[in-house]
Amino acid sequence: MAAPRISKADFERSLPALRDELLDLQLKLHTSKACAVAVIIAGTPAAGRSETVNELISWLDPKHIGVHALGDPTKEDRRFPALWRYWQKLPARGRITFFFAGWYGEYVGGEIKDKSSKRHDKRSVERILQLEQMLVRDRVRVVKIYLHTDHETQQRRLKELRANKLTSWRVTKEDRWQAKHFDQVNRVVRACLKATDHEIAPWHRVDGTDEEYRLLTVGKILRDEIRAGLQPRQPRRLSWPREKPTKAAALSVVQPARLVDDDEYDQQLETLQGRLARLVRKSRFRKQGLVLAFEGMDAAGKGGAIRRITHALDARQYQVVPVSAPTPEELLYPYLWRFWRHVPPLGSIAIFDRSWYGRVLVERVRDLTPEADWRRAYAEIVEFERQLTEHGLFVAKFWLSVSKGEQLRRFKARDEDPLKRFKVDREDWANRRYYDAYQAAAAEMVRRTDTESARWTIVPADDKKHARLAVLRAVCDTLER
């Protein structure tokens, strides 16, 4: 089949209008912050990826555009989960970012280098599809473009690039290998595109043989995607099945029958902190890492439990991430972006004082998020934690359960202490009115996100000393397991 072409006259007639329209749409996008646009531009060597992106950027305002060609992961990149480096580069709403190959680079490259070419990495496909579905639902337009050309055109262009001293650097050893194995590469690419083509983020295959046709076609795809992103979001009227409350659905929490006395507490605390210190100093831990997430009602003792953990650690080895309401900047990104930013590298520890579970707790209980969004968050959170544990990060999650009466006693004690009065504000008292709703939300949260590799520990917290020891013991058990 002949490659599609466009006449010089048609190109010159269509170009100014398309260029002006794209610039106008970009300015509207920046002003409205209606969505973000992530453009994946992939293709065969010499199909025109760089030329196309360069030309498009020349039409637009470069202040609101990002371009990333991340290449093969570095040694430092490999200390983090595979998708971590792409989360760091995602565009905020109002911006456009071009990714050369993007999260498909390692997947397609790995498949091409697999000489058997008979088996596709199903888990890699699963991660990619889940990521794109989540991004689209969080108002990121994922635009996937694959540029291709025939073998003869590819060989001619590579030869021209290598002959010019100013462009010879652009032809890599990998490009030459792919050109030599043109048919094998095409078979793998077709299978990869088929496996990752879905309605919410389809692939656009564009023939790059004719440069002017290629440029106009890609420009029109980008124009249509931005225009669609600027349309008002249609409210989703979804009906979700309601679960009947049962005894199994409630959190089973039994507060300790007796308080831990001071001597017993001091002895066990020293033992457990020493045990934790030894575990994280083992050479094996450098190839792994630890993520701790703390949730619970206000005044449940999360901060105190965290401090007993950090007292056993080297300050260079961990970070404590306090989580509160998202900032205006954080609201411009997908929900999990602000947590991906703090994922620790191998050999390190991240401790979250409140976490990504806020979406299915406070945002659910206080009607801060549409039901459709917090309902889908369960599956997205499980996938997020799965990616952490697959990479070698241990994940331990704690719900500190304080009774309603004990919470009130702690609130009053803090109010009466000038040094602790700042710990209780009007929002804490407001949340107390929703105590029962939080308990129901927490029960569903645990039920739907407790997995074999990322377990929940329910900690009775009316006795602070008992709770702190229980948390330390669970952390040590997680590392030893």
CATH of the domain at 475: 3.40.50.300
Q: Give every CB contact of residue 319 below 8 A, 6+ residues apart in sequence.
A: 342, 344, 348, 349, 350, 351
Same domain as 457, residue 351: yes
Report yes or no on 71 lying in a domain: yes
Report yes or no on 242 lying in a domain: no
pLDDT for 247: 40
Ranges in the chain, pLDDT < 50: 116-119, 237-248
CB atoms within 10 A of CB 395: 19
DSSP code, position 417: -
pLDDT for 250: 62
Report yes or no on 248 lying in a domain: no
Same domain as 267, residue 223: no
Same domain as 32, residue 149: yes
| Domain final residue, candidates 230, 264, 284 | 230
Q: Quick one: angle between helices 302-310 and 464-480, nearest 10?
A: 50
Report yes or no on 246 lying in a domain: no
Same domain as 399, residue 358: yes
Same domain as 388, residue 306: yes
Same domain as 270, residue 214: no
Q: What pTM, to 2 d.p., does this model score?
A: 0.91
pLDDT for 118: 45
Report yes or no on 12 lying in a domain: yes
Question: 467 near 402, Cβ under 8 Å?
Answer: no
Report yes or no on 420 lying in a domain: yes
pLDDT for 109: 73
pLDDT for 467: 96
**Amino acid in the structure at residue 37:** V
- C-alpha neighbours within 13 Å on the C-beta side of residue 51: 19
Supply the DSSP string of 195-257, one letter for each residue: HT-BTTB-EEEEE-SSHHHHHHHHHHHHHHHHHHHHSPPPPP----PPPPP-GGGS------S
Same domain as 157, residue 300: no
Same domain as 272, residue 156: no
Same domain as 302, residue 184: no
Same domain as 209, residue 275: no
Domain count, the chain: 2
Q: Quick one: angle between helices 302-310 and 262-281, nearest 10?
A: 60
Report yes or no on 207 lying in a domain: yes
Report yes or no on 36 lying in a domain: yes
Name which of 232, 219, 211 is nearest 21 in CA terms: 219
Same domain as 327, residue 457: yes
Same domain as 264, residue 226: no
CB-neighbour burial class of residue 342 (10 A; exposed 0-12, middle 13-18, buried 19+)? middle
| Domain final residue, candidates 230, 264, 295 | 230
At residue 373, φ and ψ (nearest 5 deg) are -75, -45
Parallel, antiparallel or unpaired: strands 349-353 and 65-68: unpaired
Three-state DSSP class for residue 399? strand
| Domain final residue, candidates 170, 195, 230 | 230
pLDDT for 112: 67
Range of the domain at 213: 8-230
